[in-house]
Structure 1
Amino acid sequence: MNKSVLKKFATNIRIELLSLVKTKVDYFLKLDISNLPIEFKSHESSIKEIINRCTTAEKLDKTKYEDFIEEVAYTWFNRLVALRFMDVNDITDTKVISPLDGHIIPAIFTEAKSGNISEDLNIDRTQFFNILDKKVESKDGDNECYKMLFISTCNYYSSIMPFMFESISDYSELLLPDDLLSTNSIRTKVIEGMSEENCADIEVIGWLYQFYISEKKDDVFEKLKKNVKITPSNIPAATQLFTPHWIVKYMVENSLGKLWMLNHPNSSLKDSMKYYIDEDTPTDTFLKISTPQELTLIDPCCGSGHVLTYAFDLLTLIYEEEGYSKSEIPTLILENNLFGCDIDKRAATLANFALTMKARLYHRRFFKKSTNPNIVELQEFGTQEFKGIKNFGSLLAPKDIQSFDDGIFSQSNAQYDLQLKILTSTYSCVVTNPPYMGGKGMNAELGDFVKKNYPDSKSDLFAVFMERGFEITKDLGYMAMITMQSWMFLSSYEKMREKLLKNYSISTMAHLDNMVMGIAFGTSATVFNKKKPDANTKGVYFKINLDDLDENREIRGLR
């Protein structure tokens, strides 16, 4: 995967999309609603919605205006990137944004012009062919017809993946870039930026999102230098850091993989785990797991789902070894084994998409009866027990549970129930890359919350999440995190260290030098077992330096 190409593409495409959307929004804001141009007469309600989203008391609201443009630009980036990945991996029945080999026009448009339009698409065929055949006036018939296909496809997938393809609002359609077919269009640039090689792994989606928000992250840290605290809405951009694949493997294999091997010592799973550490001293004291369904793993700060997608891979091998059929395995995994949550709606959406793609790639007919992953965007829901959750994230443990009813036809009830289940359950394994944020960067509410609830680890969010991680790990289960190294040395974490080393055992640790994670400080990938250490407790430790990595920043091997 060529990350430098992906970074350049994501940052450039964001700038271009923001500019294109801004130009369109500015145009609509200047229109006289009482005297719209003839081509927009039928879009009056959508134009009013655009105006309402950008103004307060009929005056331009700069914050609302900028947030709205950002939202719409990301919506189209999201759709284009998702469909490109699906095209490359033959998930779409007909390629939606990608052309056939040797062609420029998207395959779906080529097929439609020949009269082949899928029955799944809710499209006005008469209007489509009237525009195409120039029987009705249109500024750009081909682009208009292709937009009909593109939007109808997005709305079709909303029934299968509602988290990723929310039904597109009418005003969003108006703000879709005009040119989607030329060699200089946004669609073409997405194809060029996301090569088939880069789309070979669902991991590409997570990297693109991190690169897409990188400018916002830089802006947040510039403001932090001026003592501007990190607000809840900026926490995702400030704290999200994509975890290198080998670290994910190391943590998942020595938690989820370890637990299965302890219960099934003759399993061949070990042969598929490159970073698995064998137990030097066999033990009879471990969490008993009889069937694959009993293995549960949560990433409480799941980001775009990197940990969860690798855990999915490992779980498929476990289910296969136990004799389950290919058709039932992805559904069983999504229903029973994997859980995740994040305060960032976009990240949670991408995590849902990534796991769904894993399921669909594993079993071609998965969409026939698809199952949504157990991943939620953490929300307040207007209830007291979740008040402040956009600030506190999964650190918030609901106590006074209230009943919730947001309407009999609302999706919110199911999301509320799932969020409640995720935050009040315990798991066989907790694996995550938690947010890193020192006390000086925390806003007042977050600072007060961690001081009150986690006084021994309050100096940084990563340490607070270590403590929270043990709270949601089952006794004898495993908790694995990649954190800053400071918890091992600094006096501010002395009480926390004493508590951890007294009550929990370190199974294995990889101590990473500066820049191994791509950041200018040392980190530590630690796998804890939630049981008190005794005289026989041993841990396996590694020191990883920058020269232990290859040119792709993957580790050459644990030593």
Structure 2
Amino acid sequence: MSNIQQVIKDSKFIPVIKRLLFEDCFSQLEGVYGLQKDGTFEKLENVPNLKKGTEDLITRKKLEVYVKHKMESRGLINQAPTANQALLDLTREYAFTYLNRFVAFKMMEERKILRQTVSREYDSNAFKFYLADHREEEEKWKQGKVYETYRSFILWQCGKICKDNEIKVLFDPGNIISRLFPQERTLKRIFELINQEALSQIWKEDEVIGWVYQYFIEEEKARVFDKIYSQKKKMELTDIAPATQLFTPKWIVQFLVENTLGRLWIRMHPDTELKDKLKYYVPNDNDSEAIPLKPVREITLLDPACGTMHFGMTAFDLFYEMYLEELRNTGKYGWPENPSCGQVEIIPASIIENNIFGIDIDLRAIQLSALSLYLKAKSKNKELSIEKYNLVHTDIPVFSDNTINEFVDSLSSKYELTKKLFKIVIPELNKAYYLGSLLKIEDIINSFISEQHKTLVKHYGRQQYSLFKEDQQLLLQRNIVWNEIKEELRKAINEFIDKTNGNTDTFVAQESKKGIYLIDALVKKHDVVVCNPPYSGKRNMNAIMKADLTALYPKKEGDLYTVFIDRCLNLILSQNGFCGMVTIHSFMFTSSHEEIRKSIIENTTIETLA
């Protein structure tokens, strides 16, 4: 056990804050908004502070939409569609989001990325600057409304970070969680816990982020393991995230990144000086086989089960050195004529925007992944601005066929075929919350385009293009691809959100946008894929999971990790791609894994085993 892990474990600050936030959320949901512990709502007339036109009333209406759709989702996945469970889902999201935010503030303060925000509580420097710049808030503060102004300050700080750096997944001031805030007694107790002297040395360490996640889900993981191993029950679809998250030791991460991304770079640039700096790199005879050059900016690495982005953090450091080396050697034989980044200062942003990709089944993990990469980039350049993060969580609500059809029909789209495809794709996204990156959405898109193309050619031939609608002409020419469809959908959904802001349909639209990001992530092929996949034998899976994996990965679905082997190989570029994974050794010997062995032998070259 590392020293950091020991300190975090001994302090117990994570489970204590988690419990505090759970209790706090229950308290204010019932006391302020009339959302009772059984998940039902008190009548508006019985909740005195919910007056017409107030922010509290707006929040109440958004909570009603949230609970309604959570119940619908659970009903569609064969779980009891109880309002109580919807309330628990909301409370859990509230707890981990605010814990992650306060941890983020501490780590940013330690790195001088952010002015003091939580370390001195109401006396923090950033709060004082905020009051000086916001006269109305300063007046409230002078009137003794210190907690109220501090709440406004924290949410303003979230909005500022979100606006400047696009860590929206964690700091979004417009989501349902940001309409709630820890009550003052809870806030003060959280401050006592995160500011205790015993923790003073941990905030500078990147590793903290991974342990925060592990100890937050510890209780859930124990519950699932008890269900599987003691009670001999099957794992529910919603159990997969907490049951399969693993913290990967740093040396293993480094070994895999160096022998995939590092090997790719060495074969592109045999004269690279980085070869001698890769501590865990294992040379082999194939390293003399040169592969086509690519600018660093175009090299991509994906972790399809990224957790808190441990692989991405290590890859960031290697990518950074690759950019620097390319910049030093620009114009020389075997190197690009122009560098990917002409200035060292913009390299960190380029890595996050262009090189590192991550997918995970759990929103909590993606929040912390974004934070990990943000802190890593800011450690190189505190002034940089990051336009986007290529991180996607697959925990998308499940919608009924009627909801999907009504929503898609209401979109204003240039292409009717776009809407037709969306009606086919969204039902598949209903499986995303448990299949994650195992979902083969690209097969559905390719099949749709191919079938539509065949139908048009069969009925109209190729000679009458001018008579067809624009989308049909494009389809006949095979020019309708995902990028075109994606932009059409985004535009249509954004227009829809603008028209329906605040009502039930807006919720469906916002979640559909997440679906587009997920599809985008799944259709892209990468130079390098690395991961420590989830592990779970077929005997622990429920019937739905078994059936879906059998349909998607026939004869390879004996364990989640063997399915991930097949999926990862499918996500790399067909030529010159590299895959690195942590696995158990059973796939090499047991008869049940014969098909995956055959696939590996016939379609890949094994470079290194350890």
| TM-score exceeds 0.5 | yes
2:381 is the counterpart of 1:338: no
Q: Secondary structure of 2:185's match?
A: coil
Instruction: Say what the alpha-carbon RMSD is for the aligned residues.
Output: 3.1
Alignment-derived partner of residue 93 in structure 2: 71
Conservation of the 8 A alpha-carbon contact between 1:356 and 1:372:
no
Per-residue displacement from partner, 1:322-343 (whole Å, max 9, x unpaired)? Answer: 1142122123223332222122
Alignment-derived partner of residue 410 in structure 2: none
Tell me the CA shift for residue 430 of structure 1: 0.8
Give the counterpart letter for 2:125 in structure 1. A
Which stretch of the first structure deviates more once superposed, 494-503 or 65-74?
494-503
Tell me the CA shift for residue 168 of structure 1: 4.6
Per-residue displacement from partner, 1:239-262 (whole Å, max 9, x unpaired)? Answer: 111111111100000000111012
Alignment-derived partner of residue 278 in structure 1: 283
Conservation of the 8 A alpha-carbon contact between 1:287 and 1:477:
no
Give the counterpart letter for 2:259 in structure 1. N
Structure 1: which 5+ residue stretches go unaligned? 118-122, 511-559
Conservation of the 8 A alpha-carbon contact between 1:155 and 1:165:
yes
Conservation of the 8 A alpha-carbon contact between 1:304 and 1:350:
yes
Kindly indicate which of the two structures has a greater share of residues assigned to strand. Answer: 1
Per the normalisation by structure 1, the TM-score is 0.79
Give the counterpart letter for 2:8 in structure 1. L
Which stretch of the first structure deviates more once superposed, 66-75 or 43-52?
43-52
2:375 is the counterpart of 1:357: yes
Conservation of the 8 A alpha-carbon contact between 1:299 and 1:307:
yes
The 5 A counterparts of 1:484-523 are: 484-510=584-610
The 5 A counterparts of 1:244-393 are: 244-279=249-284, 281-323=285-327, 324=341, 325-367=343-385, 370-378=386-394, 379=396, 383=422, 384-385=424-425, 386-387=428-429, 388-393=431-436
2:109 counterpart (73, 80, 87):
87
Alignment-derived partner of residue 188 in structure 1: 192
Tell me the CA shift for residue 289 of structure 1: 2.8
2:427 is the counterpart of 1:406: no
Give the Cα–Cα distance (whole angstroms) in 1 for the partners of residues 107 and 244 of structure 2.
26
Give the counterpart letter for 1:365 in structure 2. E
Conservation of the 8 A alpha-carbon contact between 1:98 and 1:191:
yes
Conservation of the 8 A alpha-carbon contact between 1:231 and 1:443:
yes
Conservation of the 8 A alpha-carbon contact between 2:305 and 2:437:
yes
Conservation of the 8 A alpha-carbon contact between 2:4 and 2:208:
no
Tell me the CA shift for residue 460 of structure 1: 0.4
Tell me the CA shift for residue 479 of structure 1: 0.8
Q: Secondary structure of 1:476's match?
A: coil
Conservation of the 8 A alpha-carbon contact between 2:122 and 2:150:
no
The 5 A counterparts of 1:88-167 are: 88-92=110-114, 94-99=115-120, 105-111=123-129, 116-117=132-133, 125-126=135-136, 128-134=137-143, 141-160=145-164, 161-167=167-173
2:194 is the counterpart of 1:176: no
Give the Cα–Cα distance (whole angstroms) in 1 for the partners of residues 308 and 47 of structure 2.
42
Alignment-derived partner of residue 547 in structure 1: none
The 5 A counterparts of 1:409-420 are: 416-420=515-519
Conservation of the 8 A alpha-carbon contact between 2:132 and 2:138:
no
Which stretch of the first structure deviates more once superposed, 34-43 or 491-500?
34-43
Conservation of the 8 A alpha-carbon contact between 2:529 and 2:568:
yes
Give the Cα–Cα distance (whole angstroms) in 1 for the partners of residues 278 and 349 of structure 2.
23
Change (3 A) 1:282 1:452: closer
Alignment-derived partner of residue 518 in structure 1: none
Tell me the CA shift for residue 52 of structure 1: 6.9
Alignment-derived partner of residue 454 in structure 1: 553
Change (3 A) 1:484 1:9: farther
Give the Cα–Cα distance (whole angstroms) in 2 for the partners of residues 10 and 336 of structure 1.
33
Give the Cα–Cα distance (whole angstroms) in 1 for the partners of residues 517 and 91 of structure 2.
31
Give the counterpart letter for 1:247 in structure 2. I
Give the Cα–Cα distance (whole angstroms) in 2 for the partners of residues 460 and 9 of structure 1.
35
Alignment-derived partner of residue 443 in structure 1: 542
Give the Cα–Cα distance (whole angstroms) in 2 for the partners of residues 218 and 329 of structure 1.
41
Conservation of the 8 A alpha-carbon contact between 2:538 and 2:546:
yes
Give the Cα–Cα distance (whole angstroms) in 2 for the partners of residues 235 and 413 of structure 1.
23
Alignment-derived partner of residue 525 in structure 1: none
Give the Cα–Cα distance (whole angstroms) in 1 for the partners of residues 309 and 176 of structure 2.
30
Per-residue displacement from partner, 1:370-423 (whole Å, max 9, x unpaired)? Answer: 221212123479543333222222122222327444243657787555433321
The 5 A counterparts of 1:191-270 are: 191-192=195-196, 195-225=199-229, 226-270=231-275
Q: Secondary structure of 1:339's match?
A: strand
Change (3 A) 1:54 1:497: closer
Give the Cα–Cα distance (whole angstroms) in 1 for the partners of residues 176 and 520 of structure 2.
35
Change (3 A) 1:9 1:171: closer
Give the Cα–Cα distance (whole angstroms) in 2 for the partners of residues 287 and 196 of structure 1.
48
Tell me: higher relative CO, structure 1 or 2? Use CA pairs within 8 A at least 6 residues apart: 2
Kindly indicate which of the two structures has a greater share of residues assigned to helix. Answer: 2
Q: Secondary structure of 2:123's match?
A: coil
1:397 counterpart (422, 440, 452):
440
Give the counterpart letter for 1:133 in structure 2. K
Q: How many residues align?
A: 486
Conservation of the 8 A alpha-carbon contact between 1:47 and 1:171:
no
Change (3 A) 1:159 1:228: farther
Give the counterpart letter for 2:552 in structure 1. N
Give the Cα–Cα distance (whole angstroms) in 2 for the partners of residues 414 and 52 of structure 1.
17
Alignment-derived partner of residue 3 in structure 1: 5
Tell me the CA shift for residue 303 of structure 1: 1.4
Conservation of the 8 A alpha-carbon contact between 1:286 and 1:476:
no
2:45 counterpart (16, 34, 38):
34
Give the Cα–Cα distance (whole angstroms) in 2 for the partners of residues 444 and 319 of structure 1.
48
Per the normalisation by structure 2, the TM-score is 0.72
Give the Cα–Cα distance (whole angstroms) in 1 for the partners of residues 350 and 197 of structure 2.
35
Q: Secondary structure of 1:159's match?
A: helix
Conservation of the 8 A alpha-carbon contact between 2:15 and 2:215:
yes
Give the Cα–Cα distance (whole angstroms) in 1 for the partners of residues 197 and 224 of structure 2.
26
Give the Cα–Cα distance (whole angstroms) in 1 for the partners of residues 262 and 590 of structure 2.
32
Give the Cα–Cα distance (whole angstroms) in 1 for the partners of residues 286 and 606 of structure 2.
15
Change (3 A) 1:45 1:421: closer
Tell me the CA shift for residue 502 of structure 1: 4.2
Tell me the CA shift for residue 282 of structure 1: 5.0
Q: Secondary structure of 1:333's match?
A: helix
Alignment-derived partner of residue 546 in structure 1: none
Give the counterpart letter for 2:270 in structure 1. P
1:432 counterpart (501, 509, 531):
531
Conservation of the 8 A alpha-carbon contact between 1:151 and 1:168:
no
Alignment-derived partner of residue 459 in structure 2: none
Give the counterpart letter for 2:576 in structure 1. L
Tell me the CA shift for residue 88 of structure 1: 1.2
Q: Secondary structure of 2:607's match?
A: strand
Give the Cα–Cα distance (whole angstroms) in 1 for the partners of residues 17 and 222 of structure 2.
17
